[in-house]
Every structure is written in C-alpha cells, then in structure tokens.
Structure 1
Amino acid sequence: MSLRAVFTKHTLDFKFEAGTSRGVLTHKDSYFVKIFDSDNPSAYGLGECSPLKGLSIDDRPDFDLQLLSICENFNTLDLEVYPWNLNIILDQVLDKSFPSIVFGFETAMLDLMNGGKRVVFNNGFAKADRTININGLVWMGNKDFMLKQIDEKLEAGYNTIKMKVGAIDFNKECDILAYIRDRYDESKITLRVDANGAFSVHEVLDKLQRLAKYNLHSIEQPIRQGNEDVMAELCQNTPIPIALDEELIGIREYTDKYKLLKKIMPQYIILKPTLLGGFQQCREWIENANRLKIGWWMTSALESNIGLNAITQFTAEFNNPLPQGLGTGQLYHNNINSPLEINHGKIFHNPDKIWDLDILEFLV
C-alpha cells in the first residue's frame, strides 16, 4: 500500500482575448495531478499545477519533464498521507522551486484524505451551506470592450468591480473609471484596479493621485516587484490603499515573509496559492499579515475549476468579509464542468451539479 501520482495536460481556451499589462492571453496550459493508493486506485485526489506564463517562477519550457520527474520520485517513496505528515511531505519530498506543483500535490492529497470527492476542505462552502462574495473582473482591451464588460458585470449583480489598468492609454482608463463613477458612487459600487506592476517609479505617484478621485478601494501592485524601498515609501504616502501581489512570489521562508511585510507595510496583500506554493504558504502569509494588521484577500490565478474549487474551499476556512478574486471559472470554452456557480457577485457550490472529469485522460 503506497501513494502513486500521475498527471495529464489540458489546454484551456479563453472565450475572448484576455488582455493584461504583460500581453494578451488566448489559451493556458494546465497540468492535473491524480494521487491514489496503489491498493485502491478508484479513489483518488485531484490537483492542478497551472503556472502563469511570464509570471510564475516555475514557468519554464521543461515544466512537463520536471513534473514527470517529481511524480516518478514520489512513486518510489512508498508514502502514505495523513493530516500529521502532509506538511512534512510538502516540505521534504516536493521541490519548493515549483510552487504550482506543490499546490497541485497538496490539493490532491487533501482531496484524497477527504475521500476523493473534490472536497479539499470539508467546510460550509463544500457542504453548500455558505457563499463567498467575489469581485467582477474586467479585462484590458479597447475602451468599448472594457465598457461592455463593465455593463455586463453590473447587470449581473456585482457590487465590486476590479479593472486591469496599465496597458491602454491611461487617459482612456480614467475615462472608463469615470464612466462607472458617473453612474454609481462608492456606496453602491466598490472599485479595485490592478496595474500588474505597469507604472514606472517616476510616474506612479502622479498616476495614483489621478486615480484617487475615483474613490478606489485599492490598487494592486502599482510598480514592478523588487523595488522594496520605493514600494515602502509609496505605501506610506499613497492616496489609494496598495495591495501587494507579484511582490510575494518566490518568498518561501516564514521569517522572510514577515520581514518583507514589515518593511513595506502595504494596506493589503493578494494571495494566489498557485504562485505562492500552496495553502500552507498562504497560511503563513495570512498569519504574518494579521500580526501586522495588514488586510488580505484570495485570488485565483486562471486555474480551471479544479484549482478554483480548492482555492474557494480554502478561502472559506477564514472569516474574511472582503470580496475575493474567485470569478475566473467562467473564462474558458473548455473548462471542467463542476458544481461551482456564480450568481449576483457570489460564488457557491450547487449540490445538484456534479463533476464531469471525462475531459481529463490519465495514463496509469
């Protein structure tokens, strides 16, 4: 009796050209890890390894070969998994330089321990007793495309809108924010923006001052990560609350997390388990943020419904009233059908729906 891991690749196709400051996305490769006991292969846990192109530290051309090597090594160790040794396996068996793989394995092993039913955390969300507030995401594109998305989100009942900025003309982006504010003040619609590090250190304060007149909730990662001194000064003087996102990637040690947050003292941090190395890593960020009275929220990183389901269940482990960034399950033509549903700006588990995993073909 021992654990075995196999994987398969699935390319997700966007319903539209998804624009970011790092380029336009039309498809995304995801790898799905299946973990089972060799004596009972019909019961298995499923996890998603889904690095983001150009951003994840494990985005590399030989990713599939590295994942194969990790699975092969895992299969030689005669492992069993329990709540008490899960973190030991994650820390000592898996390679931390592949955070998306750690996240995939962690998800699959938690799923397996809960019976292999896509229950990663057996809480109120998984039992369909709880909903989670989410923001509506507006992707970059031309002005008309962005305005169309905004109208669709408002009509769908979202009261928090997150808009990508930094790719088209800044004046046009301000016009779009003005379009929302002319119709809804901040008591009706909460506005977030995400720059993905697009602003230069020389222009960022001026741009934040211009953006401030639209009464924004926050701006994510206004300048590129790695400029800690500038970011620390910016967080002290900003007219808009700042949320760190890309700044957190690659920081694995607990003490280093605390040092970064204490130095910069952002108003918020954004947690993406795929990019940060799984749930235990996120717990450490949350604990350090709580110590320093820094707010946080969880965001998916373009995973399929497998990864999104895990992240949403993890989010439900905490009593965080802020709208979360968990609405990406509607992006793809060929997503994995799941019980996840969104209605009026809330994501929830519909017990009348079932998982359809036929799209995934594993070679055992």
Structure 2
Amino acid sequence: MTISSKLKFSYLKRTLDFRFDAGTSRGVLKTRDVYWIKCWSEFNPSVIGWGEAAPLVGLSPDFLEDFEQKLQEQLVAAENQSWPTTEDELLLLIKELVPMDLPSIRFGLETAVLDLLNGGQKRILPNNFFDQGLSIPINGLIWMGDRDFMLRQIDQKLEEGFNCIKMKIGAIDFDQELELIRYIRERVSPEKMVLRVDANGAFSVEEALCKLERLSAYALHSIEQPIKAGQWKQMRALCQSTPLPIALDEELIGVNDKAELLDEIRPQHIILKPTLVGGILETREWIHLAEERGIGWWMTSALESNIGLNAICQLASSLKPSIPQGLGTGKLYHNNIDSPLQVHSGQIHYHATIPWETPA
C-alpha cells in the first residue's frame, strides 16, 4: 500500500512480568517496561502499524527518567513530517529525525511506519520468515541463577531439542559454571550441540585470559563480551590471544565509527541487538562492515515483547543468517502479547494462522 504524506502516532506502555527472576551480571530483572508505538493515516485509520521502543535497564542509552517525554517529543516531530512511500526513503528520514542516543525509539518508529507501509499486517520487511513461513534456528538461553535453577533450564532445553545453547555466566562461582558446561558436554558432543557462553563483561582484564583458557576445554562456539565494554586496547589483546572466539555485544552500543571499532579490536564475531544499536539501518551497516572484514555475526533480541521480537526476526531473516540466532525470548513473560511467534525444536516459526492480540 501507499501511505499519506502525513501520519498520526501514539504509544501504549506495558509492564511485562518475568516468569522467573531473570539474572544477569548486572543484576536481577523482575519486570520490563516496553512502549508500543501506534502509527496510522487519518485517511485510513483502520490500518495500523505497530512498533516497539524498549529501552533496557543498564544498557540502553535511552533508558532515562524522562524517556516517555522524549518518546512523545519524537512522535510529535514525526507527525510534522511528510512521509515518503519507499522503504529506503522512510529509513533515511527516521535516521535523520531520531538521534543516535535514542536507539530504541528509532527502531520502534522504523517498525511502526514500515508495518503501516506494508498494510498493517505485522510485516516489516521482505523476508522468508514472514512471507514463506521459513523458521529460524535459535539458541536456547540459560539464565543465571543458582546451580539447581541453571541445571533445570539445561535439562529443559535438551529435552526441547535445541542444538544450540547459550549460557549466561559470571554471576555464580566460576568452578560451578564450568561444572554446568561440563554437564552439557557429557550429554551432547560438540558435533551435535553448539555451545555459547555470555559473560556480559563480568571478567576482570587480569583474569579474563585464564578463564578463557579454562572455558576452551569444552569446545565452545564463542564467548560474548568477556570484559566490560570500552576497553578497546585490552579487548584487542584478548581477541589476538584468545583460545576461543570472542563476540562483541555491549561493545557496539553507542558507537558512531563502526569501522574504527572493528579495525581496532578485530573480534571474531559481533552480536547485533537492533533495539540497542539504533535500528535497521545501523544493524545493516554493522553487518556489511563485519562481512567485509571476515567477522562473523548473529542477531539477538533484547527482552522485547513479541512486537519487537517479530521485527527482529524479520530483519534477521532478510539478511539470510547462516548460524543460530538469539531470538528465543518470547516465552519470558506472563503477560506478553499473544502472537503467531512459536518456538519448536530449537527454531522460531511464524504461524500465520495464529492471530495477533490487539495491543491494549
């Protein structure tokens, strides 16, 4: 469809309740606020595009006390724009309209307007996930917690048929974490199970290499962000000497000169969270630069509701990923919005026969 030159916008806030205490090296999450952006044309108000702005505590540049005020200001500015009717022009306009330090708002606005452009059917981009129902392999996520809690999660993921598991580490005793990794490896060989770990910057610079060497005994695919972001010189040294591949995650947030970071650190992989790095255009640019340098990549959600997760799945699918993605967060909440997104046997699917719940 085409959209009129002027659009209307509003937003709804929902506080999502976790099914469990979601532990990370930065603390425990019990709830999560998301903001659903509604977009429509006055000439056809029954067709609605939906996006999601979901700033993440401790990580997002736009996790601010006055976030709602900034969101409202951006939506007012968006109503004063004359909107083009092609994807490329829309994305460029939103990049100019929303500053880089409001990445979740930029991604939410991109999603809402593209959804409207495509008829308000939750189709964001041309992609095989939505258009042809092709599933995306994903990793099963093991959250931090005490040993027994993590063990139960591991057993559940193995029973559910995942052949890629990502385990968050850095919150409990490191020897206990190694025991849990060993537990997985005793049951599933490296040939049948891809195993990733995510330290969320929990290691000190002094201890990092020693811990990487101990982890490397278990044939891991990669470790995400072993040390805190912002230490480029130390991270480069780690990437040069590491016995297992390193993936940058938090390191990408708020970076303007992407090529400089990649050339300085030379990681083995990067991980893209569109909500945190500034949306569709920024994600595509990261991937283009990484592929030019022979750096691997995959995409993950950042605890969005199913509206945001759907957009990230479609973006990932449009880029034809070659390895499992991190898109299995839809079941985290008691009160997520009902959607066609379903996870079976280690893959996420879009079941078009299942209706979307209307945001409210």
TM-score (norm 1): 0.96
Cα separation, 2, equivalents of 1:160 and 1:334: 27
Residue 326 of structure 1 aligns with which residue?
327
**Hey, what does 2:116 align to over in structure 1?**
112
Output the CA distance in 1 between the equivalents of 2:127 and 2:88. 19
Q: Distance in 2 between matches of 1:237 and 1:101?
A: 38
Distance apart, 1:81 and its partner CA: 4.1
Amino acid at match of 1:34: K
Say if 2:70 is the partner of 1:66.
Answer: yes
Answer whether contact 2:133 2:351 (CA < 8 A) is retained.
Answer: no
Corresponding residue for 1:340? 341
The answer for the alignment partner of 1:170 in structure 2 is 174
Q: Which position in structure 2 is the counterpart of 1:214?
A: 218
Structure 2 residue runs without a partner (length 5+): none
Q: Mapping of 1:192-341 within 5 angstroms?
A: 192-252=196-256, 256-341=257-342
Q: 1:5-44 to 2 correspondence within 5 Å?
A: 5-44=9-48
Q: Is residue 154 of structure 1 aligned with residue 158 of structure 2? A: yes
Q: Which amino acid aligns with 1:303?
A: E
Task: Structure 1: give runs of 5+ residues left out of the alignment.
Answer: none
Report what 1:83 is aligned to.
87
The Cα of 1:80 is off from its aligned counterpart by 4.6
- 1:100-152 CA-to-partner distances (Å, cap 9, x unmatched) read 00000001111111101100013221024311100000000000000000000
Does structure 2 conserve the Cα–Cα contact (< 8 Å) formed by 1:119 and 1:126? Answer: yes
Instruction: Name which of structure 1's ranges 84-93 and 159-168 shifts more when overlaid on structure 2.
Output: 84-93
Q: Is the 8 A contact 1:128 1:350 kept in 2?
A: no
CA distance in 1, matches of 2:143, 2:14: 23
Structure 2 CA distance for aligned equivalents of residues 186 and 33 of structure 1: 43
Give the distance between the partners of 1:84 and 1:137, measured in 2 at CA.
34
* Residues 46 and 118, structure 1, Cα contact 8 Å, conserved in 2: yes
1:87 & 1:286 partners in 2: Cα distance? 17
What's the offset of the Cα at 1:88? Answer: 2.9
The code of the aligned residue for 1:197 comes to G
State the 1:190 CA deviation.
1.3
The CA distance in 2 between the partners of 1:347 and 1:206, in whole Å, is 36
Per the TM alignment, residue 42 of structure 1 is displaced from its structure 2 partner at its CA by 1.1
The one-letter code matched in structure 1 to 2:200 is N
Code of the residue aligned with 2:277 in structure 1: it is L
Distance in 2 between the 1:299 and 1:77 partners? Answer: 31
Provide Cα deviations, 1:174-208, integer angstroms capped at 9, x if missing partner: 11111111112211211100000000000000100
What is the match of residue 353 of structure 1? 354
Q: Distance in 2 between matches of 1:168 and 1:310?
A: 33
The answer on whether the counterparts of 1:14 and 1:331 sit within 8 Å (CA) in structure 2 is yes
Q: Tell me, in whole angstroms, the C-alpha distance in 2 between the residues paired with 1:18 and 1:33.
A: 26
Query: For the Cα contact (< 8 Å) 2:83–2:90, is it kept in 1?
Result: no
Sort the Cα spacing of 1:80 and 1:321 in 2 relative to 1 into closer, same or farther, 3 A.
closer
- The secondary structure found in structure 2 opposite 1:66 is helix
Q: Tell me the distance in 1 between the aligned counterparts of 2:139 and 2:82.
A: 43
| Distance of 1:268 and 1:322 partners within structure 2 | 12
CA distance in 1, matches of 2:156, 2:324: 18
Report the Cα distance in structure 2 between the residues aligned to 1:92 and 1:352, rounded to whole angstroms. 37
Does the aligned pair in 1 maintain the 2:239–2:265 contact within 8 Å? yes
Root-mean-square deviation over aligned CA pairs: 1.1
Assess if the C-alpha contact under 8 Å between 2:107 and 2:280 holds in 1.
yes
Per-residue CA deviation, residues 213-268 of structure 1 (Å, 9 max, x unaligned), is 1111000000000000000010010001000000000013xxx1011101111110
Give the distance between the partners of 1:40 and 1:129, measured in 2 at CA.
Answer: 29
Verify the 8 A CA contact 1:127 1:349 in the aligned structure 2: no
Q: What CA distance in whole angstroms lies between the structure 1 residues aligned with 2:184 and 2:117?
A: 46
**8 A Cα contact 1:128 1:351, kept in partner:** no
Corresponding residue of 2:187: 183
Counterpart contact for 2:144–2:150, Cα < 8 Å: yes
Could you tell me the percent identity over the aligned residues?
Answer: 53
Q: Aligned AA for 2:128?
A: G
1:122 paired to 2:126: yes
| TM value normalised by structure 2 | 0.97
Q: How many residues are matched?
A: 356
Any idea what SS the aligned residue of 2:74 has?
helix
